[in-house]
Structure 1
Amino acid sequence: MARDSRHSAHPVCRAVAKSRKKARSACGSQLWQMSDDEVSTALLEATRLRAQVEALELKLAAEADRRAVGDKVGATDTASWWGHETKQDRPAAKRRMRLAESLDRHTPTAAALAEGAISTDHAKVITECVDRLPDDLDDPSIPERAEKHLLTEALDLDPRTLAILAKHVLTVVAPEIGEERDARALEREEREARANAWLTMAPDGKGSYRGKFSIPTMQGAMLKKVLLAFTAPKHQAATKDGDAEQDQVERRPSPERMGDAFCELIERLPAHKLPTLGGLNASIIVLLDFTGLKSDIGRAVLETGEPISASLARRMACEAGLIPAVLGSRSELLDLGRTARLFNGAQRLGLVVTQRVCTALGCDWPAHLCHAHHDDSWFTSGETDMKNARLLCPRHHARIHDPRFETTIHPDNQVTFHMRT
């Protein structure tokens, strides 16, 4: 008991106990009795308090590492001991220990964190940037000036923006040498990013492919901008029917919007401009049972053996340059389609001039972004000519091939869809 009293008398221990008591008091209070100003003020104070507590935690972690407290129980290192005792994820504990060791060398950043002026994410950006500075700098004051500059910027920037600024901190604090060094470092980073780019993907057996990738900043920004063009509210609204779905367009989770956009981007890749062996849509062969193809419940099989619905195969065959291999009842090859069935450039231009927008009633999707669809299916001897063609946006092109919907073509050439009963 005396030992506990002696430890609790230490100023650090008293500060921790006081913060804990204050936090418990706030959590136990009736928050509904607080005004809006009181809630917002308390939230900001709690955020600063968290930074101060984390600063103390990291300072104690660095001291514990200096004393090798984990050795007493045979731990591999202090971070492993810390992670085990506090049930932290081990890699996370090691990352925090590295930050603690770095803050021990960067007093100004540690002080700013202790005051609650910056977050641990800011501190990580600053310490990593200063630690990455070259060792052969002629002016030994450059690291100190760089740290001071980043601390000043951290007061107004979020960690992500600060990390971008940190990439060229030498140019700011030492322009006489910084521009050249930062340029060389950026070029090296780009080369390494391109050399280390990777992508993995595999079918999950549930109708989807799953994967992940790492690509350089430039290509990543290009891909993101293309996908954002597909997910823009105006773009999305053009493919939605009715006011009820309009709200869904705006509120749909971003990852889902980006997933839809990625699918549409792949479908729109110009097959004639892609390498022959990597032609994606142009090289995909779809095996179709002729009897099933004529019904609403038919299905098709990709050359890899993976099944897709016949309605999806029909839709994609209108535009994407699939090669349909139509099979008879005994799996004999009845017809191997040719991409010549696609509408050519002159026909597409004619459709753009004459139809202007998607021909689905109420849709204003521009013609140059629409798919060219055969009214009489190419699979049932429909001809690829202007009389048999109409423009449909991606959404309505999918719907016209969906067996759940009935299609009505009106005298003005507009199309309406009705759910089958």
Structure 2
Amino acid sequence: MSSDASPTRMTTPSDNPVAFGQRVQIYRNRRGMTREQLAGLLGHHTSWVKKIETGTMRMPRLPEILRIAEVLHVRRLNDLVGDVGAEPHTDLFLGPGHDRLPAVRAALSSFPAPSSRQAPSVAYLRAALDAAWSARHGAPNHREVIGGLLPGLIRDARLAVREADTTAARRSAQAIQAEVYFLAQFFVAYQPDPSLLWRVSERGMIAAQESEDPHAIGVAAWLAAQAHRDSGPGHYDAADTVVMDALRVLEPTVSGAPLDVQAIVGALKFEAGFTAAKRRDSGTAWGWWDRADRVAQRLPGGYFHRVTSFGRAVMGAHGVTVAVELRSGGESVRQANRAEAAAIPSRPRRARHRIEQARAYYLDGRHETALTTLEQAHAAAPETIRYNGYARSIVLEESTSRTPGRRQRASRLAVEIGLTAA
């Protein structure tokens, strides 16, 4: 999940190649990256980055610019290349603000004032959360449904914690409140309010810790690790620290633990592998994938963790993600061809897997197949692809393709996901 705010926009004229290089250098420095690190992530020599930054090389073509934006987490393409006349800003890694976002933000930001109404029971809140998670995984417009449910859930969970009259009741209510924040984190991710994402993540962690519930603590760590990792290379160590601290707490108790606790241990192990793949540490990445897979194979065949999607069915999808992050085109395609999307019971997770497959095919130069796969992702869960930066960048790049058929398909998809107007 993407989590940090865009740096302040720069307004240097875009027709000066040195200005583009200056932007690259500024964003690289803000990410705490050296030229060598940026070059490695882009697959170029350090001298190539130096030439770009000093303006001795002309601005590269769109595919390379998009890759630089991805690596540096530049949210709007205009922030990297400069203002282009009156053209609108193209936001690559944050989706459009959802219509439900203001109401969810208001519920999260409101002061917990005393209320005359009685708090709902934990059983009622649990049933409401069950319905919300079912909608999250089953509805194609899952953000719309969850966004409608969250304001009431947030207020009810807060009231239940405040009115709990015993230590045990308070801990149960805190566990419920933590899970409400977990659901909220899925909603606010990739939307244009990164500070709200961090606020939700921190509140979820606090509620989980106060509940002393191992499962809640594990999920909070899983979400926090994603928020740190998506903040860029300078935060990878923080992501690892969160994961390792959680594993040290949970692993000693995992034998005989409930399935959900076992699953969150497996999900955390994959997160360690994901971060290693981001660093291009192939051995460590696949080693953690193997550890996560061993956990998955001990779970029942049909098991599916409703927060992390962890289970046997998702490990193939995780393999695609590792290979893509390692920038291994051939291995990415092999993993993509092996992983069966239909086995994943969650619509948004299935769509996300399709997007990762599309990244694999695109990395291998199979652009037609990548577009077909993105179309399948859109059919599975339109709101998932609409808010996914990788899908948006592929569609944007293909909308300028010299191949008319690809350009037309990408242009239609760009309209459907809200990148361009009809």
TM-score, reference length from structure 2: 0.23
- Determine which structure has the larger strand proportion and give its number: 1
Larger radius of gyration: 1
TM-score, reference length from structure 1: 0.23
Higher relative contact order (CA 8 A, sep 6+): 2
